[in-house]
Amino acid sequence: MAKIAKNKLKNFVEELLASVDVKINDDRPWGIKVHDERLYQRVATAGNLGLGEAYMDGWWDCDRIDELIYRILQGNLAEKVRHGVSIELALYTLLHLNPAGDKVKAFEIAEKHYDVGNDLFKAMLDKRMVYTCGYFREATTLNEAQEAKLDLVCRKIGLKPGMKVLDIGGGWGSFAKFAAEKYQAQVVNITVSKEQVALADELCKGLTVENRLQDYRDVNEKFDAIVSLGMFEHVGPRYYKDYFAVVERCLKDDGLFLLHTIGRNSTKGQPDPWIGKYIFPNSALPSAHLITGAIEGKFIMEDWHNFSADYDKTLMAWYDNFERHWSELKNKYSERFHRMWRYYLLSCAGGFRSRNIQLWQIVLSKKGVPGGYHSVR
């Protein structure tokens, strides 16, 4: 009886995957090569979480995980795995009601992700160490795309020499360094990562940049402009109004705020439980509805720019860098970490490729730009 049940379960999973043109032990790049038959039970009962954990444990392999995840998301397979969906919905509820964005939890994301090791991020990122989506409109390399993105941000906020800018969650100071070098701006960069502050101080030495280990809620001074690139995903929907209240408090009346964030298509969508457990704890992606609701009465929407396809290119470039430098990193990081990080980068690339998740740059003003805002692309 147990053997019959296992065969039924295997057939069920195989039929699900076949519905999105994914086959077991297929020679095509997105085919799954199964090393442990327990994979079927794990996927059927734990959905995306089980699939990711099984990969970390070496139960299966795939030449192109990005293409595999792209097909799974395009086919909306999670909705067909009832138990997996119940787990995802439970995690979604926890993200909304519990620690995402709590001040006492604010530094946990740094400890578990951003403080993993500057050597890892130096190997993976571009020369300016920008850990957000590049802008490939006219760029052909990762370095060019990140320079283009940083310049795009500066132009969108109308940056001029001498302006004082706050960068909320500015990481290793990539934007701060660029804005100080290219636009002669004064930049305050805040982050909750000790490792990022240490390296940012080194990289921004001699420039008009101040790097602080500080939670955004503790900032209480005025700035000509404010930017936040890839940090809003860690705020949590429960704290969106508090977040925008801080921005409103710190932004001069004639200043602009640029929010650069990953977003999801539906407010009711479920976050990926594997990403939440292993990569970005206490985090949640915003929807357009949640953002507009949180800014109502505080800001005027001046511009909303979606260039999500560029995140697919960015992640694949990060993956290529990571794999190329793995021989230098493997003495510090385990093979399980190698598989985890590979799955992270490639599954996210597949997510953006499927247009299941988005990348937005939003420009806000407090009272409206006189004569209207002219969109920059």
Query: Could you identify the residue written with the tokens 């360094």?
Result: 177
| CA-wise closest residue to 115 among 194, 189, 170, 198 | 194
Which pair of tokens denotes residue 122?
């130096």
Instruction: Kindly report the number of other CB atoms within 10 A of residue 119's CB atom.
Output: 13
Q: How far apart are CA 200 and CA 192, in angstroms?
A: 12
Pairing of strands 251-264, 60-61: unpaired
- Asked whether the CA dihedral 280, 282, 285, 291 is positive or negative, the reply is negative
3-state secondary structure of 284: coil
Which pair of tokens denotes residue 272?
């990926």
Amino acid at 363: V
348 has catalytic annotation:
yes
Amino acid at 373: Y
Contact by Cβ (8 Å): 306, 260 = no
Query: What is the helix (H) or strand (E) element at residue 186, kind and residue range?
Result: strand 186-191
Q: Which member of 154, 204, 250, 348 is catalytic?
A: 348
Query: What is the helix (H) or strand (E) element at residue 252, kind and residue range?
Result: strand 251-264
Across 325-337, b (16+ Cβ under 10 Å) vs e yields eeeebeeebeeeb
- Burial class of residue 140, CB neighbours in 10 A (0-12, 13-18, 19+): exposed
Instruction: Kindly report the number of other CB atoms within 10 A of residue 137's CB atom.
Output: 12
Alpha helical stretches, state H, the chain: 2-18, 39-56, 65-74, 82-97, 108-109, 118-124, 142-156, 174-183, 194-203, 240-250, 273-278, 288-295, 309-324, 326-329, 335-353
Residues labelled catalytic: 348
